[in-house]
Amino acid sequence: MKTLKNMTVALSLLGSLSLFSAEVEVLHWWTSGGEAKSVGALKTMLEKSGHTWKDFSVAGGNGVNAMTVLKSRVVSGNPPSAAQIKGPSIQEWAELGVVSDLNEVAKAGKWDERLPKMFSDHMKYEGKYVAVPVNVHRINWMWVNPAVFKKAGATIPKTWADFEVAAKKIKAAGFIPVAAGGQPWQEATVFETIVLGVGGADFYKKALVDLDLEALGSDTMKKSFDTLKMVKSFTDKNAPGRDWNLATAMVYKGEAAMQFMGDWAKGEFKVAGKVIGKDYVAIAAPQTNNKYLYNIDSFVMFKQKDAEKAKAQAKLSELILSDEFQIIFNTRKGSVPVTDGVSRDKFDPIAINSINQLNAAAKSGALLPSMAHQMAISDSIKGAVVDVVTNFYNSKMSSSDAAKLLVDAVKNEM
């Protein structure tokens, strides 16, 4: 009797699994060591819930390649179930009527109560949730190899003037001061970090969020461009085209002293078995202490022909905002939880510092969306801004010409 009862339970369990099990094809660009390990956590959790994960990864930092592939899949009428999409692009996709409404899952999971409004607003279209946030990354970090600094007799800089002094010493000692990846999005990442440091939070907001033409053409913007060129002069000849994670490796291998990069870099240090405080240190990039450029990764679910798939989409969304996932994923990825109230026990000192800096910045008005990581302005204007930055970075253009071009580029797109 007992065995029969067990069998019935097992069969009905199996039945319920197969009844509700569906495949979720997930488009993402998390292919570096740390990124792949992080997204692996989501795959495992989804599969434990009885659904199937179909991986659709498109390599290329910042999702530049992934977004091109996504557009062609949607145009051909065959969108993936879920895709990593961020910032104003979420609303642009929603406007086309191709994305799923996640409001029911959001209500059941109390997303409005658990997410800071500033972040949940990014996830909504016409007041309804159409995206699920995964994490909060901070952009304006400086990743440091303290042993290289020590060997060069240099001090870890807090201002751009100090940076120049330190970088000269590091170069003279035979090291590469700055590990750089010469790809437009990486150059734009360094640029926006400099704009925040040189101009301050209000200036950053005016120029790169509100697109105020006066700020874009100002002397402060010229100074930011000059600082960017100064930083470039401390990078190596092989930087063009280099992937960001290879630049991170230069820091932990002791070839380079610093990298300016968002905290997904920490995922690489971790995968390489490096120890915080001993092998590497992360502090705010010069002049950006207590200022915070945020970058929130999120997933949008696309409407599917097969209605069963909606259940799997809902499950994926629910899992992402669970405390369990927020902890596993973010401790691997280098980011911090997007939901309030998640235990900090498993987070390292860099993450704790990130959370503290986020809170300080939120109070002072210095919590700002990253332009380079698609959080601040529409994709088309962002593209125009990044083009100017890259053209300036890779030519002999003067900083006044760059500022003028920036104004023109933004005017043309508006």
Residues that bind ligand GAL (CB under 6 A): 29-30, 35, 61-63, 137, 244, 264, 295, 297, 373
How distant, in Å, are the alpha carbons of 21, 31, 303, 310, 313 from that of 307?
A: 12, 30, 9, 6, 10
Distance in Å, CB of 90 to ligand GAL, minimum: 13
| Tokens (6 digits) for 216 | 């874009």
Q: How far is the CB of 61 from ligand GAL (least distance, A)?
A: 4
Q: In this complex, which beta carbon is closest to ligand GAL, that of residue 170 or of residue 328?
A: 328
CB of 334 to ligand GAL, least distance (A): 9
Q: How far is the CB of 264 from ligand GAL (least distance, A)?
A: 4
Buried b (16+ CB within 10 A) or exposed e, 149-181: bebbebebbbebeebbebbebbbeeebbbbbbb
Give the C-alpha separation, 252 to 272, whole Å.
8
Using DSSP's 3-state secondary structure scheme, residue 298 falls into strand
Q: Cα(25)–Cα(377) distance, rounded to whole angstroms?
A: 28
CB-nearer residue toward ligand GAL: 252 or 264: 264
**CB 191 to ligand GAL: min, Å:** 15
Name, in order, each residue with C-beta under 8 angstroms of 140's C-beta and a sequence gap of 6 or more: 192, 193, 196, 197, 260, 284, 285, 288, 291, 292, 293
For 248-323, strand residue ranges (E) read 256-260, 281-284, 292-295, 298-301
Distance CA 58, CA 80 (A): 13
Q: Choose between 313 and 335: whose C-beta lies nearer to ligand GAL.
A: 335
Of 293 and 384, CB closest to ligand GAL: 293
Rank residues 61 and 286 by Cβ distance to ligand GAL and give the closer one: 61
As given in the structure block, the two tokens for residue 30 are: 């998390």
Burial of 23 (0-12, 13-18, 19+ CB in 10 A): middle
| Least Cβ distance, residue 63 to ligand GAL (angstroms) | 6
Residue 34 vs 217, nearer CB to ligand GAL: 34
Which residue number, 30 or 163, has a Cβ lying nearer to ligand GAL? Answer: 30
Minimal distance, residue 180 CB to ligand GAL, in Å: 15
Question: How far apart are CB 30 and ligand GAL at their closest, in Å?
Answer: 6
Beta-bridged to residue 136, according to DSSP, are 336
CA distance linking residue 296 with residue 320, whole number of Å: 13
Q: How far apart are CA 23 and CA 228, in angstroms?
A: 46
Residue nearest to ligand GAL (CB): 61
244 vs 392 by CB, closer to ligand GAL: 244
